[in-house]
Structure 1
Amino acid sequence: MDKQINNGSLNFIVIDGSTVQEPGAKETTYRLHVAIDLMSLTLREVNVTTDKVGESLDHYQLTAGDVALVDRGYNQPKSLVPLIDRGGHVVLRYNPHSMTLYERCNEPKGVKIDWEQRIRDLNGQPGAIPVYLCHQDKRIEGVVHAMPLPPEQAAQARRKAKQRARDKGRTASQKTLMLSGWVLIFTSLPEALLDTKSIAELYRVRWQVELVIKRLKSLLDIDRLRARKDSKLADLYLHGKLLFAAVTQKIAQRRFGRAATTMDGDRSITHWRLWRTIANEIKAGLTACFPKNERFIDDHVKSLCERPRKRKLQGLPGRVLELIIEGRGGGVSLT
């Protein structure tokens, strides 16, 4: 760990997933597994899977020195422990209901943490709780940073917890209601390196991956899939859009430089504006090339056609069309 810090080799990677639906679908068809570099705010890796594949750190090529910032969907010891064991690190929104952590003690079988008691011991103040993360025969040291929500946000979180329980025909437990008023973040980074305040500030920056996904959808239309699941056209569409994103990102880096692409200083330009400008230029260039080459005219027209639909596009009634044809044959114009 000290060697990584001294070498400046800690790379903060923000990871999240999103979904794409085929035409007419109400449920997930494909999943996008997105990883961005937090310093440059650029795409580092994107994987496309079907709806049967869930979120996991196993989708990404993470190595020693990488620090993965992930949400509560990644509370999975089977993927967290191997990453930490090979020199990587995590900053994770911890969910006590999804993943068990253990007290830092010498008990061979480990002692599960009583989170109700631990939270009470903090007396409403932020704090760091040393823990063990275990999987099979591995035991990893970590820290859970606990931060109380402001009263209004805590009350709102408890109302949502009660509503979720009612939707499932249950009553929210006291433990659930207590934990709803706190933000718990697990990390394998030592407290001496990043304290509770710093970890909280770092986790908030995870929002940047949401903005990247929003750009992929709102500017590049990656979620407007015009093909059925498992078809070659669907595969071409999704990976073609990712190529579009890579080209857009590369042009932005070359044209605007570090001022527009890094988080290590004051930022006055948003990536959304840059991507929109460049994406529009690329679209205009691609569209302009079709009419100039007769070979592409049929393909160009086909690409502009409407998708198959039950209700056909309107046309003239048969009798009206006959009158027009008869009129033209007799030298009379009806149009």
Structure 2
Amino acid sequence: MLSGVFGLEQVVESGSLSFVVIDGSTIQEPGATETTYRLHIAIDLINLRLRQVEVSTDKVGESLDHYALASGDVVLIDRGYNQPKSLVPFIDRGGDIVLRYNAHSMNLYEDDGQGGMMKIDWEKRLQSLGKQTGAIPVYLCHDKKRIACTLHAVPLPAGKAAQARRKAKLRAQNKGRMAREKTLVLSEWVLILTSVPVELLDTKTAAALYRVRWQVELVIKRMKSLLAIDQLRARKDSALAELYLHGKLLYAAVTEKIAQRCFARALTKLDGPRELTPWRLYKTIAEDIKSGLNACFPRQKRFDRDYLRAVTERPRKRSLQCLPEPITELIQQCRILEVSRV
């Protein structure tokens, strides 16, 4: 049903050029300190609409395999998607990637001059660039397939590079080890891997395009702030948890559809000047939906006990604060003597 609401069938069947931003988010059950459910979210980068949202357990990681992608899709993805087993088949089907490359989790290769592939040593390669940007031809390999790509290397400004090195050292220190030189070198660079030919997407444009990926973070923030999708009040694997999550996603889809239908002219796209962000608009629509639902389904007195049980505080180590026992006894005595106004 949600696929139909999002219009996913029409998107996949179109086969035309489309920029898609993909990311994930986590949800915790009450009292949990680790991930309970994971949301896999894809948005259309031009009009900032939800294209697809999938719910999985914490056992399912981030991967392009969760999404219905088609030929002509250009996906913007972060470090969590450095997975050749999902990237190579997608590119082979006619898609393209713009990926924040993580040299620690995925190898890239170059021609060794003898018809074979040689793994690239990024510590040496980046040091050879000095502090200059570079577009490096590479191969992304999986099984017996190899895909020609470009690695765009952009050095961080001196101040940010020093800050990145400090953070890398601190992360290693917290794990009880020394930061490797390779890690420190890589921390000073933004590495963007893309299958789009360098003639169409140069280094400067690739870096600028990847920065726009931030829009999916804003979509996730809206879903959490306006729709409270992350405030799960049910236990993992329960029917109530499934109902809650999918109900919230339907809520998000309906909110977006109303915005598109009623304020299409006001919702500017990213391919032109923008004067409005969806935040206040979506907030107003979400409040209107709440009011409408409350009017259609007023609270019934026969459910008061269940309602109070649902909103009761969960068990906690520290009890809710009360008056000291001697004071309550004094009040009780005053009530008996009818000299109390409490």
**TM-score normalised by the shorter chain: which range applies?**
0.7 to 0.9
**Which residue does the alignment assign to 2:287?**
280
Q: Which amino acid in the other structure matches residue 305 of structure 1? A: V
The SS at the match of 1:111 is strand
- Report the secondary structure of 1:52's partner residue: coil
For the structure 1 residues 314 and 238, does the alpha-carbon distance in structure 2 shift closer, same or farther, using more than 3 Å as the test?
farther
**Could you say which residue in structure 2 is the equivalent of 1:114?**
121
**Aligned equivalent of 1:4:** none
TM-score by structure 1 length? 0.88
Whether 1:194 aligns to 2:213 is no
**Aligned pair partner of 2:146 in 121, 131, 139:** 139
Q: Are 1:178 and 2:185 counterparts?
A: yes
* Partner in structure 2 of residue 330 of structure 1: none
**Residue type of the partner of 2:251?**
F
Residue 305 in structure 1 maps to residue 286 in structure 2: no
CA, structure 1 residues 57+8, in 2 after alignment: closer, same or farther (shift >3 Å)?
closer
Q: Show the counterpart of 2:65.
A: 58
The question of whether the paired residues in 1 share the 8 Å contact of 2:47 and 2:269 is answered with: yes
Q: Would the alpha carbon gap of residues 237 and 323 (structure 1) be closer, same or farther in structure 2, given more than 3 Å must change?
A: farther
Matched-pair contact (CA < 8 Å) for 2:22–2:43 = yes
Choose which of 236, 243, 247 in structure 2 pairs with 1:240: 247
Letter of the 2:125 partner, please give it.
R
Q: CA deviation at 1:120?
A: 2.4
Most deviating of 274-283 and 305-314? 305-314
Query: Following the alignment from structure 1 to structure 2, what is the Cα–Cα distance between the partners of residues 128 and 253?
Result: 39
Distance 1:334 1:184, change over 3 A: closer
Contact 2:15 2:70 (8 Å CA) reproduced: no
- Structure 2 residues not aligned, in runs of 5+: 1-13
The residue correspondences of 1:319-334 to structure 2 (distance < 5 A) are none
> Alignment partner for residue 93 of structure 2, among 86, 89, 92?
86
**1:52-100: CA deviation from partner (whole Å, max 9, x where unpaired):** 1111111101110111100011100000000000001110000111100
Q: Is the 8 A contact 1:290 1:296 kept in 2?
A: no
Deviations 1:194-240 (A, max 9, x none): 10000000000000000000001010000100000000000000000
Report if aligned partners of 2:258, 2:285 keep a CA contact under 8 Å in 1: yes
Please tell me whether the aligned partners of residues 41 and 261 of structure 1 are also in contact (alpha carbons under 8 angstroms): no
- The aligned residue for residue 30 of structure 1 is 37
- Residue 163 of structure 2: which of 156, 159, 165 is its match? 156
Give the residue type in structure 1 aligned to 2:311: C
Change in Cα spacing, 1:303 to 1:214, as seen in structure 2 (3 Å) is farther
Percent same amino acid among aligned pairs?
Answer: 64
Question: How far apart are residue 321 of structure 1 and its match?
Answer: 8.8
Equivalenced residues, count: 324
Are residues 117 and 237 of structure 1, via their aligned partners in 2, closer, same or farther at CA, if it must alter by over 3 Å? same
What residue is the counterpart of 1:254 in the other structure? Answer: 261
CA drift of 1:28 comes to: 0.6
Distance 1:296 1:74, change over 3 A: farther
Where structure 1 has 5 or more consecutive residues not aligned to the other structure, the ranges are 1-6, 328-332
- Give 1:121 shift: 2.6
- Deviation string 1:171-214 (CA, Å, 9 cap, x unpaired) is 11222111111100000000001100000000000000000000
Letter in 2 for 1:70: I
* Corresponding residue of 2:235: 228
Asked if the contact 2:268–2:275 (Cα under 8 Å) also holds between the matched residues in 1, the reply is: no
CA drift at 1:303: 8.4
* 3-state DSSP of counterpart to 1:259: coil
Residue 100 of structure 2 aligns with an amino acid whose one-letter code is R
What is the DSSP-based 3-state SS (H/G/I as helix, E as strand, rest coil) of the residue aligned with 2:119?
A: coil
Which AA in structure 1 matches 2:279?
Answer: W
